[in-house]
Amino acid sequence: MTSSMGCRPGCGACCIAPSISSPIPGMPDGKPAGVRCVQLDERNLCKLFGQPGRPAVCSAFDADLLTCGNSEDEAMLLIQDLEQMTS
């Protein structure tokens, strides 16, 4: 088991790489893998963070070394790999 490491500010990999099937404000059908979430701002920060409209799957995401690696680039690759394994 890995421990939570906290999100890297400005990473955004978890808002781009995976598909999200639940509705997101501005994306009522969710989002496909590899598509940038409309709620990700220009600094790669979630505009819904801490808000009640944030999808439960997003709120439940817990960054850890196995999922996010040591950099934003590694996080993108690891989350893309997880997406492919679960598709």
Percentage of the chain with pLDDT > 70?
A: 95
pLDDT above 80 (res 2): no
Q: Mind listing the pLDDT tens digit for each residue in 28-62?
A: 999 999 999 999 999 999 999 999 889 999 999 98
Kindly tell me the burial class for residue 43, based on how many C-beta atoms sit within 10 Å of its own C-beta (0-12, 13-18, 19 or more): exposed
Copy the structure tokens of residue 69.
């690696």
| C-alpha–C-alpha distance, residues 19 and 22, integer Å | 9
Average pLDDT, the chain: 92
**Run of H or E including 64:** none
Contacts of 29-33 spanning 24+ positions with Cβ under 8 A: 33/80, 33/83, 33/87
pLDDT for res 53? 86
